[in-house]
């Protein structure tokens, strides 16, 4: 606690700022930076899901049929994905198994991958905000240093 008071006195010798608040801001900023670093590390682990979402997030289920020699219709399901100028077709199977794959694997996986992708975008925003906050904190430190130097000069003149 004593070091915080000493830090506060060093930060703002003229009492123009609430120096304790400056120390708290610096502590919070450090906490935010370490939290962002942990988030970045954790999101890098699931990076393959983000790539999966980028590649297969825009797919839809398509049901097609084929007639056999007797004239009976058989239905098959494909995952149709828009790619670079073309559409990929991924065979999922017959009705029961295809719907299970689509509903129990593809949909939840893509939902999770989309959320991770959104988290990455928010993390980038937070990192930019962190940089701005760090810049403002550095400016406050510079002003504080200038005030301290000015106070020393004034005291030496008197």
Nearest to 94 by CA among 59, 63, 67, 60: 63
Confidence check: pLDDT of 4 > 60: no
pLDDT digit string, tens, across residues 109-155: 888 888 888 888 888 888 888 788 878 878 877 887 788 788 888 88
Yes or no: say if 21 and 11 are a contact pair by the CB < 8 Å rule: no
CA–CA separation, 66 vs 86, rounded Å?
23
20-29, 38-47, 143-152 — which is least confidently predicted?
20-29
CA–CA separation, 123 vs 130, rounded Å?
10
Residues 6+ apart with CB under 8 A from 79: 56, 59, 60, 61, 62, 89, 90, 92, 102, 106
pTM over 0.85: no
Say which residue, 7 or 85, is predicted with more confidence.
Answer: 85
pLDDT of residue 44: 78
pLDDT of residue 2: 45
Percent of the chain clearing pLDDT 70 (strictly above): 86
pLDDT mean over 73-90: 86
Q: What angle do CA 57, 60, 61 make, to 5 degrees?
A: 135
pLDDT digit string, tens, across residues 50-70: 777 777 777 888 999 988 889
Model confidence at 1, pLDDT cuts 50, 70, 90, reads: very low
CA–CA separation, 7 vs 37, rounded Å?
26
Using DSSP's 3-state secondary structure scheme, residue 13 falls into coil
């Amino acid at each position: 606690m004593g070091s915080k008071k000493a830090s506060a006195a060093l930060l703002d010798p003229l009492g123009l700022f609430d120096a304790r608040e400056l120390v708290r801001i610096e502590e919070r900023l450090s906490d935010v930076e370490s939290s962002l670093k942990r988030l970045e590390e954790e999101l890098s682990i699931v990076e393959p899901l983000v790539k999966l979402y980028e590649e297969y997030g825009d797919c839809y289920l398509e049901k097609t049929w084929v007639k056999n020699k007797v004239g009976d219709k058989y239905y098959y399901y494909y995952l149709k994905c828009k790619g670079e100028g073309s559409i990929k077709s991924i065979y999922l199977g017959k009705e029961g198994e295809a719907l299970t794959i689509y509903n129990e694997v593809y949909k939840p996986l893509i939902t999770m991958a989309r959320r991770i992708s959104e988290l990455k975008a928010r993390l980038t925003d937070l990192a930019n905000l962190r940089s701005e906050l760090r810049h403002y904190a550095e400016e406050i430190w510079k002003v504080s240093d200038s005030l301290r130097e000015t106070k020393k000069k004034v005291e030496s003149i008197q």
